[in-house]
Amino acid sequence: MASDQHFIDFIIDQINSSGRVTYKKMFGEYGLYFDIKLFALVCDNKLFIKPTSAGRTFIGNVVEAPPYPGAKPSFLIEDKLEDADWLNELIRLTVEELPEPKPKPKKKSK
């Protein structure tokens, strides 16, 4: 089941206080970006945050699940979706710890 636009709009409203969060539709689901860093996925109307040690410490009792079959487990966030301050702090900690994205190779010209 694909995520719906209402759910992604709700998540973006909760976490976009800085104005630096964007999303991209990917195969009916969504990738969430802070500037250019992919930090979360929204799949089946559920929020999955990339795992980091700072995020694990902040959350405490972590629930991990793969966002889609075959994916590595991520932090599944369900009971704190209404708490914008908590979500923003988790995202700040996560983004700080995530590495910068690798540059994409340039296409060879013909």
Question: Predicted confidence band at 110 (pLDDT cuts at 50, 70, 90)?
Answer: low
In a domain, 59, yes or no: yes
CATH number of the domain to which 40 belongs: 3.30.1460.30
- 29 Cα distance to chain centroid: 11
CA atoms within 13 A on the CB side of 7: 18
- Give the phi and the psi of residue 41 in degrees, each rounded to 5: -125, 145
Query: How is residue 63 written in tokens?
Result: 């629930």
Highest mean pLDDT among 11-20, 47-56, 100-109: 47-56
Task: Return d(Cα 34, Cα 95) in angstroms, integer.
Answer: 7
Domain count, the chain: 1
pLDDT at residue 87, rounded to an integer: 95
Span 11-33, pLDDT tens digits: 999 998 767 899 999 887 999 99
Task: Return d(Cα 20, Cα 28) in angstroms, integer.
Answer: 22
Task: Return d(Cα 59, Cα 57) in angstroms, integer.
Answer: 6
In a domain, 64, yes or no: yes
Mean pLDDT (the chain) is 92
pTM surpassing 0.75?
A: yes
Average pLDDT over residues 38-59: 97
